[in-house]
Structure 1
């Protein structure tokens, strides 16, 4: 069980000077030996196709190459190349227009003028985001129940506040200190989360309540606390870290998946409410629905298929989140690839859905890991 602090610890003032951060790059012999095909996945193939066959610019380059060879416009290969280029360009333009209709114009983001609040920012995805922004001398406040000493916080370039985000009073106290130490928060990354890998019958009422308090209710506390500051500033970005399991559910993860499913509805409700507030025009929202991540929380769960369902790394997610934040855009981050297209799963006949669940091993992954743990 997690130990929750009863108060927020005052953080020291951070220097604005750029700090030298030592980086230890992984050596080749530090990495486990894996056959080459272990690194091949549908995500890698899709990524390559997206920058080649399905890229409008590359498609038109093929047309230009054919013309350079004096290929007549009437030839079949030229007609196919032009038609494909027009189709790829049309899809790209449609995507831009669709995003603009859905999310509006991007806001201007200057890290020197932003104050970033990250919950659960000691390790995992939150820790990576905090450290990345800290190395860039951004104003970063980390809220977490896990401890971080002052030297470690200064080395990472962040200001640390020991705070249980499931407690509304502690969040309010931390917010007051953040405003005093760093300024008005304008970027909120709701990342804190816990998991109990148990069946519904084995999970206690206290564990269910704790899961919802940390994974779900904490978002309400931080939104009620930090959103008014963003409205007064007339700008902001809110990142909601949910999970693809919020769509799917999974055996032996009932409390976790239910708490993450609630975040999906919360995100859409938040967007709908912000759309009705004139002062919220420049407040952007980002929904993150990752698949299984290579973090300590799910370290004992092996992905059923490394090709179709590879494990997402915090670096992959962090890169996409940071890109949207700094472009000042709203949007969604869904990694691996199946997370992005999960909506089509529910269009399939229920029998096909059940066969896919059995084939994927979705509902046995945690049970298998528990049996292995008991044997060890």
Structure 2
């Protein structure tokens, strides 16, 4: 499945993102609007049209100004997050680790990378749900266990060498209220969604720093910016993942002097995977999210990704709203998880404790690995 052309309509159909991208490519594109301004100033015909359409000409000047400011802002975004440094990537030699790569978004990431012949190590508690391409190797790993991560990392290094790209994709959700969440629920959510990022970094980041070459990708969620009833632990763990990314980027440049090691964050909305089945929100296809991640990885540049893109202008800004708007908005999300029946594989580190109590609880939420 090759990466979808940006000129094709999205899998999700015509969306707000489609409209905004179209506007960016036309009305807010200085390459289109600036020549019209210059024609109005320096050609007789252009000056005549401008004088006859003053309101339109003022609008055009505003579009040019906004387009130029947007281009400058985008330029600075790219340069600053990449420390004004470039780097060379040889994808025949790079080794990519993808956690949670057996299914869902991770599966799509793995297959897109494998299409290009890139060596990929999949770390997941469940076996692959697809036939592994030649360049893909599976390593069973309980990402809720620091000891299991350490042992698996050693196996990856002995089999493939030091990874140069780490994609922290694995995630779990329990769908419970704060008081209904058990200690095991909370610890599992944070172990997989946040703490595993630290323990994986401990294993793979030192070699990247030593060579000043590498990349850490963090798959968070729009929930990192906005919590809702019955997903507080999930949102909190994703907020932890987001701040892990932000702090890592700063430390790489200042503490470790590894200013060419890249960092990418993905904050995606609700995606059609088994993990969030029944979630009451507009959904993305996992392939859509995976493609945005892989495109960013292949560019070899740090990036802050939000999908849908139009969410960037709303969800992260909620905290800047007046309090009465913030609190009202969060309360209005009370039905998001009402019909949720997501499924995930039990982590071995949690299974034994659960079985000792009363068997694996809530089969609608957890499934045994097989």
TM over 0.5: yes
Structure 1 residues 245 and 80, CA, compared in 2 at 3 Å: closer, same or farther? closer
Q: CA deviation at 1:298?
A: 0.9
Structure 1 residues 300 and 237, CA, compared in 2 at 3 Å: closer, same or farther? same
Residue 95 of structure 2 is aligned to residue 121 of structure 1: no
Q: Distance in 1 between matches of 2:340 and 2:158?
A: 46
Q: Is the 8 A contact 2:277 2:340 kept in 1?
A: no
Residue 364 of structure 2 is aligned to residue 367 of structure 1: no
Q: CA deviation at 1:138?
A: 0.4
Q: CA deviation at 1:187?
A: 0.3
Q: Name the counterpart of 2:92.
A: 112
Q: CA deviation at 1:320?
A: 1.9
Please identify, of 343-352 and 181-190, the stretch whose mean Cα deviation from structure 2 is larger: 343-352
Gaps of 5+ in 1: 1-20, 24-37, 304-309, 371-376
Q: Is the 8 A contact 1:112 1:138 kept in 2?
A: yes
Q: Is the 8 A contact 2:306 2:312 kept in 1?
A: yes
Q: Deviations over 1:139-175 (max 9, x none)?
A: 10000000138x82246x4110011122222222222
Structure 1 residues 80 and 291, CA, compared in 2 at 3 Å: closer, same or farther? closer
Q: Name the counterpart of 1:337.
A: 309
Would you say how many aligned residue pairs link Structure 1 and Structure 2? 326
Structure 1 residues 51 and 174, CA, compared in 2 at 3 Å: closer, same or farther? same
TM-score, length-scaled by structure 1? 0.79
Q: Name the counterpart of 1:283.
A: 261
Q: CA deviation at 1:318?
A: 1.9
Residue 45 of structure 2 is aligned to residue 70 of structure 1: yes
Q: Deviations over 1:193-223 (max 9, x none)?
A: 1110111222211111111111111111100
Equivalent residues in 2 for 1:140-179, closer than 5 Å:
140-148=120-128, 152-154=131-133, 157-179=135-157
Residue 69 of structure 2 is aligned to residue 90 of structure 1: yes
The partner residue of 2:326 within 325, 333, 353 is 353
Gaps of 5+ in 2: 3-11, 342-370
Q: CA deviation at 1:236?
A: 0.4
Q: Is the 8 A contact 1:311 1:336 kept in 2?
A: no
SS at match of 2:132: helix
SS at match of 1:281: coil
Equivalent residues in 2 for 1:296-311, closer than 5 Å:
296-303=274-281, 310-311=282-283
SS at match of 1:231: helix
Residue 222 of structure 2 is aligned to residue 244 of structure 1: yes
Please identify, of 211-220 and 68-77, the stretch whose mean Cα deviation from structure 2 is larger: 68-77
Residue 20 of structure 2 is aligned to residue 46 of structure 1: yes
Q: Name the counterpart of 1:222.
A: 200
TM-score, length-scaled by structure 2? 0.80
Q: Distance in 1 between matches of 2:173 and 2:77?
A: 36
